[in-house]
């Protein structure tokens, strides 16, 4: 995945987000950076911030990262009912402007599907639910080639600064959906290699011991009985296997943006009220994305996702917590 940031010298530089009441939100007025979340916790951004289009950016300044360091991306990958192939928000060419990656834009009210300019983000809405303050922003996605038309709500809770709640919603014009996978898709940067199931830990090198290609290894899938269950929810986590990933030695020619920095973390999906068919899936890469450079220490997970039949507005929680406290 490219980390190039687009620039245009003919436009004003977007204003940095504002901090108030512990929340980070786009500045009033335009142009403004599309970035939301906790002022000192997990944050979400959109293009044109660094990285490809068609992806949510996840930032974790509490892991000793500089403000533009991405820890992971979330891609949107809907599957029409009766189909097997996904749409890929990052990989499809936009039918709005012909550029790579579908266009994402933000809204406070998802009922208006009109695309917004990237540097005119919605501020997000603050509300109190069950005594807990929350910040919510809607991410609208241009329609997919397979007929899927979806939006994703992103919700932050004031009492949980290291997690987000994501929920996919099909629009009125969408084809019926069989699934809508929200996949964490840059596990190689953190070199995630351990998948923590209820009664065992699965290691990437044991799943694909001889894989040396420059593409994706096949998905490995683990069903609901293998996930950790408590209080009506299931969780599954992935962690690195290196004690000091920032000290790794990289192959000559490895781009600087792949070098790990900051503290280690555990990345976790949580799903309340799981469907009986819910499963966790991971795939792996031996080389970094769009690169021949091998990953230090061998193959690591790339995509890390929960998969289940589509339910309108079904929330999933993704958390990134420091591993070394």
Do residues 325 and 311 share a domain?
Answer: yes
Do residues 198 and 253 share a domain?
Answer: yes
Q: Is 85 a member of any domain? A: yes
* pLDDT mean over 58-63: 98
Do residues 29 and 137 share a domain?
Answer: yes
* Listed residue (20, 35, 18, 10) closest to 158, CA to CA: 20
| 3-state secondary structure string across 236-261 | EEEEECCCCHHHCCCCCCCCHHHCCC
DSSP H or E run through 145: none
* End position of a domain, from candidates 185, 210, 245: 185
Do residues 228 and 150 share a domain?
Answer: no
| 195 has a pLDDT exceeding 90 | yes
Do residues 91 and 178 share a domain?
Answer: yes
Do residues 138 and 44 share a domain?
Answer: yes
pLDDT of residue 5: 31
* End position of a domain, from candidates 185, 200, 224: 185
**DSSP state for residue 12 in the 8-state scheme:** P
* End position of a domain, from candidates 153, 185, 217: 185
pLDDT of residue 240: 98
| 7 has a pLDDT exceeding 80 | no
Q: How far apart are CA 172 and CA 181, in angstroms?
A: 19
The token pair at 143 is: 């329609």
Do residues 90 and 235 share a domain?
Answer: no
The token pair at 266 is: 């555990």
Single pTM value for the model: 0.94
pLDDT in tens, 212-254: 999 999 999 999 999 999 999 999 999 999 999 999 999 999 9
Report how many domains make up the chain.
2
Do residues 174 and 287 share a domain?
Answer: no
Q: Produce one character per residue of 147-166: b if its CB has 16 or more CB atoms within 10 Å, e if not.
A: ebbbbbbbbbbbebbbbbbb
* pLDDT mean over 270-283: 98
* Listed residue (223, 180, 211, 168) closest to 301, CA to CA: 211
Q: Is 7 a member of any domain? A: no
Do residues 203 and 295 share a domain?
Answer: yes
Sheet strands side by side (includes 35-38):
18-20, 23-25, 35-38, 43-45, 55-59, 70-80, 177-184, 300-307, 279-285, 220-223
Domain of 129, in residue numbers: 14-185
- Name the phi and psi angles at 170, rounded to 5: -85, 135
The token pair at 254 is: 């490895």
Q: Is 8 a member of any domain? A: no
Do residues 256 and 131 share a domain?
Answer: no
């Amino acid at each position: 995945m490219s980390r190039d940031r687009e620039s245009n010298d003919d436009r004003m530089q977007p204003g940095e987000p504002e901090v108030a009441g512990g929340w980070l939100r786009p500045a009033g007025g335009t142009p403004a950076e599309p970035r939301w979340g906790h002022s000192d916790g997990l944050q979400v951004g959109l293009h044109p911030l660094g990285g490809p289009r068609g992806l949510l950016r996840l930032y974790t300044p509490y892991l000793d990262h500089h403000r533009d360091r991405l820890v992971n991306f979330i891609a949107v990958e809907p599957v029409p009912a009766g189909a097997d192939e996904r749409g890929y928000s990052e990989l499809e060419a936009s039918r709005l402007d012909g550029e790579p990656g579908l266009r994402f834009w933000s809204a406070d009210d998802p009922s208006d599907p009109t695309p917004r300019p990237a540097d005119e983000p919605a501020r997000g809405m603050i509300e109190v639910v069950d005594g807990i303050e929350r910040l919510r922003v809607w991410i609208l996605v241009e329609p997919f080639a397979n007929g899927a038309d979806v939006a994703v709500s992103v919700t932050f809770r004031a009492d949980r600064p290291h997690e987000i709640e994501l929920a996919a919603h099909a629009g009125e014009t969408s084809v019926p959906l069989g699934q809508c996978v929200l996949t964490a898709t840059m596990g190689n940067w953190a070199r995630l290699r351990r998948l923590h199931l209820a009664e065992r830990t699965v290691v990437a090198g044991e799943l694909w011991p001889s894989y040396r290609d420059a593409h994706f290894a096949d998905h490995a899938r683990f069903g609901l009985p293998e996930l950790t269950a408590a209080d009506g929810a299931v969780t599954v986590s992935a962690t690195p296997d290196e004690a000091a990933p920032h000290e790794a030695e990289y192959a000559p020619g490895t781009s600087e943006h792949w070098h790990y920095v900051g503290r280690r973390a555990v990345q976790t999906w949580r799903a309340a009220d799981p469907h009986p068919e819910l499963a966790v899936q991971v795939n792996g890469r031996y080389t970094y994305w769009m690169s021949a450079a091998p990953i230090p220490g061998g193959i690591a997970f790339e995509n890390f996702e929960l998969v289940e039949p589509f339910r309108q507005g079904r929330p999933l929680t993704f958390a990134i917590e420091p591993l070394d406290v």
